[in-house]
A and B are shown apart, each in its own frame.
Chain A
Amino acid sequence: MSKLDKYLRTDQMPHFACPGCTHGTAWAAMIRSIEQLGLDKNKTVMVCAIGCAGRLPVYLDFPSIRTPHGRALSYATGVKLANPDLNVIVFMGDGDASAIGGNHLIHTARRNLDITAIVATNEIYGMTGGQYAPTTEGGRFASTAPFGMIENQLDVCKLVEGAGASFVGRGDVYHVRELKDLIASAITHKGFSLVEVFTTCPTHFGRRNNMKKPSVLVEHLKNLTVSKKQAEKMTEEEVAGKLLRGILLKEERPEYVETYDRLAGFKEEGESV
């Protein structure tokens, strides 16, 4: 039962995520943006890999491919180059996208291939039981950071911006009203688009960091992010330590396949020169 049933493999529901895991909130926002845009689900390929976030295609009634850990973007690159008419959406967790798949993330962003990557950042490896991720805030606890996280926290948005992405956005599951439109803007954008969505893992991150209650963890995101617009009116001290939310970057740049086809004189077989 859901207005979104036509996008779901309802026989696989309820999905497998733990109670209060808000990856599901991000999934739902993405589905709603697909609905809003009226994308043909037959022509919208979901590419995911491993981890809690990567499980998504099991529940979505789309053509889908679940790749080895970290490799989703490289598979998506192949899908898009094989058939540029498809909408290609890659949904990954933060570890999947930025640790094991970090190199693919950098280079997919750099190429400006017209695919949309959604990265669900919950700052933890949930599926394997709560190890720290590149995105874990300093001082947070994880099963492999029993004395607190000592590494620098990776800013996924800055990374892909530096790599040359032409659309970068950030949202979170507290400010959930903004999410659907943000993802829709990313999908509509011609070129590589990335949306980082801060999600929550009460089971592993929350439990180890005094935020076991799902809503408390979601509430925590309220203070973690600040919209780009709001931030413009705030002092430097007020913004310090907060992550910007909204469309952080949007530029029109030549898209990979369009440029390739033009320069290489690509023609489909049977097409006259």
Chain B
Amino acid sequence: MTKIIIEPNWCKSCGICVDFCPTNVLELDISGKLKVVDANACISCKLCEIRCPDLAIEIEED
């Protein structure tokens, strides 16, 4: 399973990762905080990691 690591202090809740995730793994919660809502759906495409402007997400594959 892939591990999705979020650095909460670097994330600015811009939502780019959420909107471009092809499998809806991520969400901004009601307070705007980035959350992993469906880790199993992650296909490790790493688009979130390389598109994040704040270097705040990393995908680690087993």
The verdict on A215 contacting B54 (CB below 8 Å), with A1-B7, A14-B9 known, is: no
Where chain B touches its partner, the secondary structure class is: loop
A8, A23, A28, A179: the one contacting B52 at CB < 8 Å is A28
The verdict on A218 contacting B50 (CB below 8 Å), with A3-B58, A4-B55 known, is: no
Least Cβ–Cβ distance between B27 and chain A, in angstroms: 13
Q: Size band of the B side of the interface?
A: 20 to 34
Does B53 have its Cβ within 8 Å of any Cβ on chain A? yes
Q: Is the CB of A28 within 8 A of B53?
A: yes
The verdict on A24 contacting B13 (CB below 8 Å), with A176-B50, A215-B19 known, is: no
**A245 vs B54: C-alpha distance when bound (angstroms):** 24
Q: Is the CB of A215 within 8 A of B7?
A: no
Does A13 have its Cβ within 8 Å of any Cβ on chain B? yes
Q: Is the CB of B16 within 8 A of A24?
A: no
The verdict on A214 contacting B15 (CB below 8 Å), with A2-B58, A14-B10, A24-B55 known, is: yes
- Give chain B's interface residues, CB within 8 Å of chain A: 5, 7, 9-16, 18-20, 47, 50-56, 58
The 18 sampled A-B contact pairs (Cβ below 8 Å) are A2-B7, A2-B58, A3-B58, A13-B10, A14-B10, A14-B12, A14-B54, A15-B54, A17-B53, A19-B13, A24-B54, A25-B50, A28-B52, A28-B55, A176-B50, A176-B51, A215-B18, A218-B20
- Seed contacts A24-B54, A218-B16; 15 additional CB < 8 Å A-B pairs: A1-B7, A2-B55, A3-B58, A14-B10, A17-B53, A20-B12, A21-B53, A22-B53, A25-B51, A25-B53, A29-B50, A173-B51, A177-B47, A214-B16, A215-B15
